Amino acid sequence: MTAAVRLESLRKVFPDGTVGLDDVSLEVPAGQFVAILGRSGAGKSTLLRCASRLVEPTSGRSFIGDLEVTGARGRGLARARARAGFVFQQFNLIRSYTCLENVLIARISHNGWLRGLIGLWTPRDHEIARRCLDEVGLSAKIDTPVRSLSGGQQQRVAVARAFAQEPSALFADEPTASLDPNLASTVLSMLKDYGRSRGVPVLVNVHTIEHARRYADRIIGLSAGRLVHDGPASELSDEAVEAIYAAPQSRPPEDH
């Protein structure tokens, strides 16, 4: 299968000297669900943010499809970022907006910032946004302000927004950390189903080993910014888990 996400020797060193990523290379084919495991400070968030160019890597290269995300500038960078859908742990929703309005924001990459800022959405934009809210089970909440929703419902709006972007790759940073086990399972199922049905690679920082084993096709493990495990979820051994979660000799002070 063609690599839909490709990372080549990706490295990130923060201004305080903390090494967030240390020479990480990775290929993820279309439609594959990859769970990322590691201790706090292992570099999980940094990996996703550098791969999608939300954070500038110190060196190395990141590709989504045939487009290099690293090195892109100006409109090229905007196009590269538009290929990467991102689900954040803290939702990053506009609380005064309705569910539909929050999801429509994802369509800016298809219409331009000016049209988005003044709300000139096309009928197709509305159709896609409504369909994505339906996919996450919120069709009855379209006109509800997100401030009125539960945490689980807000996370589903965030997932619908990422879907509405029609990304070439989907990244999710601990999307279930603040959810109860049932809601966490629902969100992970949605992400996996989306990736498989659209042929989109999905990379998720997963909160628990149990969820990684249950939903992922493949599990990678990070420790102190280094890739220490990469293999099928069905073959994750106790020894591999110990290697992933073993305390590194020089542990970064905090997760980036």
pLDDT in tens, 5-35: 999 999 999 999 999 999 999 999 999 999 9
**% pLDDT > 70, the chain:** 92
Residue type, 198: R
Reduced to 3 states, what is the DSSP secondary structure of residue 19? strand
Both tokens of residue 253? 């002070």
Helices 151-164, 181-198: inter-axial angle, 10-degree rounding:
10
Domain boundaries, the chain: 1-83+167-251, 93-166
Each residue's pLDDT tens digit, 65-81? 988 999 888 878 888 88
Per-residue model confidence (pLDDT) at position 253: 43
Euclidean distance between CA atoms 54 and 72, whole angstroms: 12
Euclidean distance between CA atoms 18 and 254, whole angstroms: 9
Per-residue model confidence (pLDDT) at position 2: 56
What residues pair up with 63 in beta bridges, in sequence order? 6, 68
Task: Please state, as a whole number, how many other Cβ atoms lie within 10 Å of the Cβ of residue 67.
Answer: 14
Per-residue model confidence (pLDDT) at position 36: 98
Euclidean distance between CA atoms 3 and 7, whole angstroms: 10
Task: Please state, as a whole number, how many other Cβ atoms lie within 10 Å of the Cβ of residue 210.
Answer: 12
Under a CB-based contact definition with an 8 Å cutoff, are residues 219 and 193 in contact? no
Distance from first CA to last CA of the chain, Å, rounded? 31
Q: How many residues does the chain have?
A: 256
Burial of 142 (C-beta count, 10 Å sphere; 0-12/13-18/19+): middle
Residue partners of 228: CB distance under 8 A and separation at least 6: 221, 222, 243, 244
Task: Count the alpha carbons within 13 Å of 69 in the hemisphere toward its beta carbon.
Answer: 30
Q: Strand 218-223 and strand 226-232: pairing?
A: antiparallel
Domain 1-83+167-251: give its CATH architecture: 3-Layer(aba) Sandwich (3.40)
For the ranges 115-119, 152-156, 179-183, the one whose mean pLDDT is highest: 152-156
Please determine, for residue 251, whether its predicted confidence score (pLDDT) is greater than 50: no
Euclidean distance between CA atoms 81 and 109, whole angstroms: 9
Which residue, 21, 25, 1, is CA-closest to 11?
A: 21
**% pLDDT > 90, the chain:** 76
Burial of 176 (C-beta count, 10 Å sphere; 0-12/13-18/19+): buried
Sign of the Cα pseudo-torsion (42, 85, 26, 206, in order): positive
